[in-house]
Amino acid sequence: MTTDHDARAKLFDLIEDVRVAMMTTVEADGSLRARPMWTQKPDANGDLWFATRLDSAKTREIGSSHRVGLAYSDPDDQDYVSISGHAEIVRDRAAIEAHWQEGMRTWFPDGKDDPELAFVKVTPDYGEYWDAPSSKMLHVYGWAKAAVTGEPPRHPGDQEKVDL
Decide if 149 is inside a domain: no
**Cα within 13 Å of Cα(112), Cβ side:** 11
Res 142 pLDDT > 80: no
Number of domains forming the structure of the chain: 1
The CATH number that applies at residue 31 is: 2.30.110.10
145 in any annotated domain: no
Assess if residue 141 is contained within a domain. Answer: no
22 lies in some domain: yes
Burial of 2-16, coded b for 16+ CB within 10 Å and e otherwise, reads eeeeebbebbbebbe
What's the pLDDT at 4?
Answer: 81
DSSP 28-54: TTS-EEEEEEEPPPP-TTS-EEEEEES
pLDDT band at 132 (very low <50, low <70, confident <90, very high): confident
* Per-residue exposure over 17-53, b if at least 16 CB sit within 10 Å of its own CB, e if not: ebeebebbbbeeeeeeeeeebebbebeeebbbbbbbe
C-alpha to C-alpha distance for 69 and 135, rounded to whole angstroms = 29
pLDDT-based confidence at residue 161 (cuts at 50, 70, 90): confident
The least confident of 3-17, 19-33, 67-81 is 3-17
| Residue 153 domain-assigned (yes or no) | no
Average pLDDT over residues 21-26: 98
Cα 2 to Cα 17: distance, rounded to the nearest angstrom: 24
Number of H helices, E strands in the chain: 4, 7
